[in-house]
Structure 1
Amino acid sequence: MTILPPSSRDPAPAGEAREADCSVTVTGTLDGAAVEWKLPEEVPVAIHFNSVPYAVMMATPADLEDFAIGFALSEGLIAHASHVANVLAFPSGDGFTADVAIPEDNFIRERMVSRSLEGRVGCGLCGIAEMADAIRMPGGKLPHRPLDPAAVARAFEALPRFQPMNAVNRTVHAAAWCASDGRILLAREDVGRHNALDKLIGAMARAGQSPDGGFVLMSSRCSFELVQKCALAGISALATVSAPTALAHRLAREAGLSLAALSKQGVMIFDGEMNGHP
């Protein structure tokens, strides 16, 4: 069996972004006038491995094959996308199920954590039952990939053109894979920043896009879970719209992952030691 082909919802060329197909329209008032607003869907997505339930995440129901594969990679459950035999996403109850088939020899079961409840939007840790499972960084350091402030700024300027869903609802996060010069090559959106990153990681894997030489750009703050997901997926540079938390900064330095963020003065590269408590 083979992995399903990449989604037809790849970002359109600059200036040709399409309206996403998973928004609903509501009516409200603005300054006394009736207006319409499109809202993104937020539904439970059950992730199964070999038809066995593993986690339920609240997510936007788009690019679910990318989501499932990216989740497996960013959780460290597989070492490479080629280790996935098949993935199938289908409606299930009030949401969807994404079932990933992985040969037993390729399943890294020691990376699995015990989850006792669903994962809410914006939370990368919900459902994890043991504190020791919260931080699960890979061993060793990533190849050093310095970030060019001009390239990061160029990517941030282009990002809205790769956000068709956000263009109509101004609600969802985006994660984009960028070449070293700031050109956006792939992008994915979701109401949850962790989900958007998982979708991007899966899309990159399915498109045969190597994590070498580029960087991830995100429309969110930099929490440690994003650093952890990038590190486990072999991505060694991450730029976010706001500064990292102290834990994210510390873990990024330990993993050799380069960080950048927007500031009032421009793009800041985080390459120095922290002062204060470790």
Structure 2
Amino acid sequence: MNYTPAQNRTVWVAQAGECSSTSDNISAEIPVALVYNGISHVVLMATPANIAELALGFSLSEGIIENAEQIYTIEITEHLHGVVAEIELASAAFARLKSRRRQISGRTGCGLCGIDSLAAVQPEIEPVLRDWHVEFSIIGRALTDFNHHQQLRAQTGSVHGVAWADKAGKIVTVREDIGRHNALDKLIGWGLHAKVDWKHGFVVLSSRASFEMVMKSAITGIGCIVAVSAPTTYAIDLAHKANITLVGFARHNRQVIYTHPQFFHP
């Protein structure tokens, strides 16, 4: 198999009393199995791109590893029905994984599938360390840059984008996926490889700021989240606890700051 992020399909367009066929680019959605030390842990529905980054970012943001050095190898193989990521974990990380007893089947819209108790929803998270302030104009600059980097969305119109912006508001990189959690995990995986200092920049989300997105950011050490849509109450509460500045409904001329406005300059 040769999986690609977008596939061309024939569609029929009804307009002005007529129906005609044309071609359209459609986002690809495939199962991705993450297998740790030979044991299948989770199946994610994802866009077939940057799978190794997805595996690395998911491993960190879900608390399976504490740093990138606890993963020795990631091998990606394509199969008839999807992709398998074989991940070799350090023994300490694997022991932690087994103790969680989490065998789940993930969906693109689900960030907490398989959690077996309410106490497990919100883990203990250290407050993110902060040493700089984000500015209104910098966010606006990043939003303009963000629109120019979402290539798969421009082709298909059906994926989420997550970007990393530096302190000047320049988009450093963007990851896209049908699942917003997957897109963030891909970005986190990229950042671990690139040894990004998460304290000196912010993430931009094309989606709403849900609890899961804030939780993954907090675990990673990201101190500012800018979302083009709304947050939820649970996301706001966690962002407050984690010392994260959460910005929603982000536009060039208006932004809503939900937590830690002391780190925001108008």
Q: The TM-score by the shorter chain falls in which range?
A: 0.7 to 0.9
Residue 247 of structure 1 corresponds to which residue in structure 2?
234
- Shift of residue 110 of structure 1? 6.4
> C-alpha separation between the residues in 1 aligned to 2:129 and 2:34?
31
Residue 23 of structure 1 corresponds to which residue in structure 2?
6
Partner residue of 2:254 out of 255, 258, 266: 266
Residue 186 of structure 1 corresponds to which residue in structure 2?
173
The amino acid that maps onto 1:251 is: L
> C-alpha separation between the residues in 2 aligned to 1:157 and 1:112?
44
> C-alpha separation between the residues in 2 aligned to 1:107 and 1:153?
42
**Secondary structure at 2:87's aligned position in 1?**
strand
1:234-256, Cα deviation, whole Å (9 max, x unpaired): 11111111121011001100010
* 1:1-278 mapped onto 2 (5 Å cutoff): 21-26=4-9, 27-31=11-15, 32=18, 33-107=20-94, 109=96, 113-138=100-125, 140-144=126-130, 145-262=132-249, 266-271=254-259
**Secondary structure at 1:38's aligned position in 2?**
strand
Residue 264 of structure 2 corresponds to which residue in structure 1?
none
TM-score by length of 2: 0.88
TM-score by length of 1: 0.84
> C-alpha separation between the residues in 1 aligned to 2:96 and 2:34?
15
1:168-225, Cα deviation, whole Å (9 max, x unpaired): 0010001111101210111100000000000000011112222121111110000000
Query: Is the CA contact 1:22–1:41 (under 8 Å) kept in the aligned structure 2?
Result: yes
Give the alignment's Cα RMSD to 1 decimal. Answer: 2.2
- Shift of residue 126 of structure 1? 1.6
1:22-81, Cα deviation, whole Å (9 max, x unpaired): 211222214234332211111111111112111111111110000000001101221111
In structure 1, runs of 5+ residues without a counterpart are: 1-19, 274-278
- Shift of residue 263 of structure 1? 5.2
**Secondary structure at 2:173's aligned position in 1?**
strand
- Equivalent pairs counted in the alignment come to 253
**Secondary structure at 2:255's aligned position in 1?**
strand
Q: Which moved more, 1:223-232 or 1:49-58?
A: 49-58
> C-alpha separation between the residues in 1 aligned to 2:168 and 2:216?
23
> C-alpha separation between the residues in 2 aligned to 1:108 and 1:176?
33
> C-alpha separation between the residues in 2 aligned to 1:211 and 1:229?
13
Structure 1 residues 184 and 112: CA distance shift in structure 2, 3 A: farther
Query: Is the CA contact 1:116–1:129 (under 8 Å) kept in the aligned structure 2?
Result: no
Query: Is the CA contact 2:41–2:103 (under 8 Å) kept in the aligned structure 1?
Result: no
Aligned identity (percent) is 34
Query: Is the CA contact 1:137–1:231 (under 8 Å) kept in the aligned structure 2?
Result: no
The amino acid that maps onto 1:223 is: S
